[in-house]
Structure 1
Amino acid sequence: MANTVSAKKATRKMERKTAVNKSRRTRVRGYLRAVEEAIVAEDQAAASEALRKAQSEMMRAVAKGVYHQNTASRKISRLSKRIKALAA
């Protein structure tokens, strides 16, 4: 339990930041889910469009410090690979 005023303030700040980051992570997951659903439905056009939106959202999360750059790049790369496989 925080005893000092500064420690209590830090705890409040941390709670607000955690809530914001949780919201951002949830938002990204929603975009990724849309890509997955389009891939499962084998709709390449919809999957490509969903990936474009998801990529934008992932990079925004990276900029805000929610995800690491390499993690976002890896996820986007793997999804791109699966979408390209739909054409074959």
Structure 2
Amino acid sequence: MPNIKSAMKRVKVNKVKAANNKATRSNLKTMLKKADAAVAENASDKEAAIRLAIKKVDQAAAKGLIHKNKAARKKSQLAKKLNG
């Protein structure tokens, strides 16, 4: 445990940020799975599911949780599933 006040604060802040990042990543994975399931079932709301998944991918990339190239790749894969 750190002794310096600013280091103690950093530990707390890092813990909170790690929890937020984990939640956002988990939500992203869930949305990607839901989009895949909607495409596999040929559901009527597959376009909405893919649009939501693309939104979550963009948000994760903006926060730096995933690399921008990975985000572009995921978005391309989702669009291909929708159109092809």
Contact map agreement 1:59 1:72 (CA 8 A) in 2 = yes
Supply the distance in 1 between the matched residues of 2:70 and 2:43 (Cα, whole angstroms).
24
Supply the distance in 2 between the matched residues of 1:67 and 1:82 (Cα, whole angstroms).
21
Deviations 1:42-62 (A, max 9, x none): x16532221111111211122
Supply the distance in 2 between the matched residues of 1:16 and 1:40 (Cα, whole angstroms).
36
Residue identity (%): 32
Q: Does residue 78 of the first structure (1) align with residue 77 of the second (2)?
A: yes
Matched residue pairs, number?
84
> Which stretches in structure 1 are left out of the alignment for 5+ residues?
none
Structure 1 stretches of 4+ moved >4 Å:
none
Supply the distance in 2 between the matched residues of 1:2 and 1:44 (Cα, whole angstroms).
53
> Which stretches in structure 2 are left out of the alignment for 5+ residues?
none
Contact map agreement 1:25 1:61 (CA 8 A) in 2 = yes
TM-score of the two chains, using structure 2 as the length reference: 0.84
- Number of the residue aligned with 1:15: 15
Deviations 1:16-59 (A, max 9, x none): 10011111111111111111101221x16532221111111211
TM-score of the two chains, using structure 1 as the length reference: 0.81
Aligned CA RMSD, in angstroms, stands at: 1.6
